Amino acid sequence: MEPKSAAPVRGTRDFGASQMRRRKALFSVIEAAFLRCGYGPLETPAMESGSTLSGKYGEEGDRLIFHVLNSGSFSEGIDPDQWNQLREQPRRLVPLLCEKALRYDLTVPLARYVAANHAKLSFPFKRYQIQPVWRADRPQKGRFREFIQCDADVVAPEISTFHQAELLGLYRDVLDGLGFRNYRIRLNDRRFLNLLASWGGVPGQVARLGLLLDKLDKQGWAVVRDELLALGFEPTKLDRLVQSVPLDRPMGQVMTWIEFHDWMQAVLGDGGMTDLVREDALNALKETEQVVTFFGQNQADGSSASGGDSLTFDPCLARGIDYYTGLVVEVVAPELGLGSLGGGGMYSGLTALFGYPEWKGMGISFGAERLLEGMDRLGLWDESSLRGMDILCYASDSSLDPAAQSWVLTWRSQGFSADWFPISGKYKKATEHAQRSEVAWMVVFGEREWAAGEVTLQSTDQKHRHRLPPSEVAAFLQASTNPLA
């Protein structure tokens, strides 16, 4: 029998200790920001009912749901005639064969949770969730079938503009805290997209318009313009849109708030839309202005490490997920070439799908995998904080092992992570083990030093070496927050 491959399934990954330290460091920064703003933790199951997830993510998203085949005789109970009829249309067989599916995102499970537990919850309900999600996508560079999402949401009868700005501010707090520069928080509102569709002469094609506009970053105006014309978008107005939304502005900047406000007012001035679309757009402008004001108040000078105002406004930002109904957001850092670093928006109607009143929500999500890659590229890690164990004890002779073991227990009781290398007299192996494990310090129990009541404390890279009594090791390591600097 040939040995089986030990590689993980395509699109999934193993994470060793070094990688996990980086991942946990990132998650801890994000989690601390969530907690600071009053969001509580939540976990939901990896599997949901297939009917819970289907129809929530648009046509493209629904194709990427990982369905779980029913256990046992999965086709049991299906009428033979129905089976034969649907065999040529396998997607229509899915609900019959797969009652469950892996979690596609964290927002729909949140809506189910709120509907199931509304009597026990207090509103506004603020929760954060850091868990894996799964997409039946084609694996490629930067795109995985299993990845972590870091979400924060507010659910309530109405979402205040204060809390909308708070969620946007979380992006700024986290990205600035991680050391990112030159990023932009792009904003639009689905009500403006409705306005754009009416203005362009395609009022019944809002969903399709959004899908086409979502391709802009990858395909550019040359391709998308032709598809919009084929959709029926009025040519002269499309030319105005193309001129107003250039794709070559530096650092992801599209429009300032004043430019965006004036542009929308000009569109409204052209007329051609229903009273409802006009009223919705005017309300959206008023609410967005309040969000911008609160966002600026959240930081005294309204600026961030991204340089000046980190907000930019993009009338073509759509965010293709069907459940968004209001403000939508996407975070980009074009110089990194990693695509979106996060996104989210306002939604309504999700809880109503589970038999609960149609309350609203707004949520944001951090793209953890892309943030990790961005930090690697930019060298943003504090390597001293990412080391493994504090102390590895090594004895040059087995007679010194009891002393080394005893001190390991002592240093653990003093708050240090410590271990004993079980092969005495193999110094080279001990140092290789320490280096591979990213241990900060080795404590060498040598016969000559021990006879004098001392040990050798040396950094794993062997650039620092000190001889001192073992009772002084803890004080030495505590004397500086970064004794290797």
Contact 361, 225 (CB under 8 A): no
Q: What dihedral angle (degrees, nearest 10) is formed by the CA atoms of 19, 23, 28, 31?
A: -160
pLDDT, tens digit, for every residue of 39-65? 999 999 999 988 888 888 877 788 888
The confidence score (pLDDT) of residue 121 equals 93
- Give the pLDDT mean for 458-476: 93
Check residue 62 and give its pLDDT: 82
Query: What pLDDT score does 92 carry?
Result: 66
- Say how far apart CA 120 and CA 130 lie, in whole Å: 22
| Band of pLDDT at residue 71, cut at 50, 70 and 90 | confident
Give the strands of the sheet with 67-68, arranged side by side: 47-49, 100-102, 67-68
What's 87's DSSP letter? T
Express each pLDDT in 139-172 by its tens digit.
Answer: 877 788 999 999 999 999 999 999 999 999 999 9
**Element containing residue 329 per DSSP (H, E):** strand 324-332
Question: The pTM is what?
Answer: 0.86
Q: How far apart are CA 68 and CA 66, in angstroms?
A: 7
**Would you say residue 251 has pLDDT above 80?**
no
- Point out the least confidently predicted range of 141-155, 158-172, 402-416, 443-457: 141-155
More confident residue, 102 or 273: 102
In this structure, are residues 464 and 444 in contact, taking their beta carbons and an 8 Å threshold?
A: no
Contact (CB, 8 A) for 323 and 304 = no
- Residue 419 reports pLDDT greater than 70: yes
pLDDT digits (tens, 9 = 90+) for 420-442: 999 988 999 999 999 999 999 99
- Token pair, residue 203, equals 């009022």
At 395, give phi and psi (nearest 5°).
-110, 135
Task: Locate 109 and state its tokens.
Answer: 């499970």
Per residue in 369-391, pLDDT (tens digit) is 999 999 999 999 988 778 899 99
Please report the pLDDT score of residue 97 as a whole number: 74
Indicate whether 307 pLDDT > 50: no
Rounded mean pLDDT, 83-98? 67
CB–CB of 170/185 below 8 Å?
A: no
How many Cβ atoms from other residues are within 10 Å of residue 167's Cβ?
A: 25
- Neighbour-count burial of 80, counting CB atoms closer than 10 A to its CB (0-12 exposed, 13-18 middle, 19+ buried): exposed
Q: What is the mean pLDDT of the chain?
A: 88
Tokens of residue 111, six digits: 């809506």
8 Å CB contact between 264 and 192:
yes
Q: How far is CA 150 from CA 117, 142, 178, 326, 365, in A?
A: 22, 17, 15, 21, 5
pLDDT of residue 63: 85
Q: What is the mean pLDDT of residues 312-332?
A: 87
Residues in the chain: 485
Percentages of the chain per state (helix, strand, coil), in multiples of 5: 45, 20, 35
Among the residue ranges 206-210, 289-293, 316-320, 325-329, the one predicted with the least confidence is: 316-320
Q: What percent of the chain has pLDDT over 70?
A: 89
Residue 308: the pLDDT is 46
DSSP 304-320: -TTSS--EEE-TT----
Gap between the Cα atoms of 215 and 244, Å rounded: 17
DSSP states of 354-380: GTS---EEEEEEEEHHHHHHHHHHHT-
pLDDT band at 302 (very low <50, low <70, confident <90, very high): very low
d(CA 400, CA 205): 79
Answer for the pair 148, 130: CB distance below 8 angstroms, yes or no. Answer: yes
In terms of phi and psi (left: phi > 0; alpha: psi -120 to 50; beta: otherwise), the region of 462 is: left
Separation of alpha carbons 446 and 299, rounded Å: 56
Q: How far is CA 279 from CA 190, 200, 223, in A?
A: 13, 17, 32
Do residues 221 and 242 touch, judged by C-beta distance below 8 A? yes
Query: How many Cα atoms occupy the beta-carbon half-sphere of 100 within 13 Å?
Result: 10
Is residue 467 within 8 Å of residue 483, measured between CB atoms?
no
Tokens representing 103 are: 């979690």
Cα–Cα dist 247/259, whole Å = 16
* Low-confidence winner among 62-71, 359-368, 402-411 (lowest mean pLDDT): 62-71
Cα–Cα distance for residue pair 369/98, rounded to 1 Å: 29
Q: Cis omega before residue 90 (within 30°)? A: no
Name the strand (E) or helix (H) holding 340: strand 340-348
CA atoms 335, 341, 344, 350: torsion sign:
positive
Model pLDDT, residue 89: 65
User: What domains, with CATH codes, occur in the chain?
Assistant: 17-46+104-378 (3.30.930.10), 388-478 (3.40.50.800)
Average of pLDDT values for 274-303?
Answer: 85
> Taking a C-beta distance cutoff of 8 angstroms, is the pair 117, 359 a contact?
no
pLDDT of residue 73: 67
- Residue 85, pLDDT > 90, answer no
Query: What SS3 class is residue 274?
Result: coil
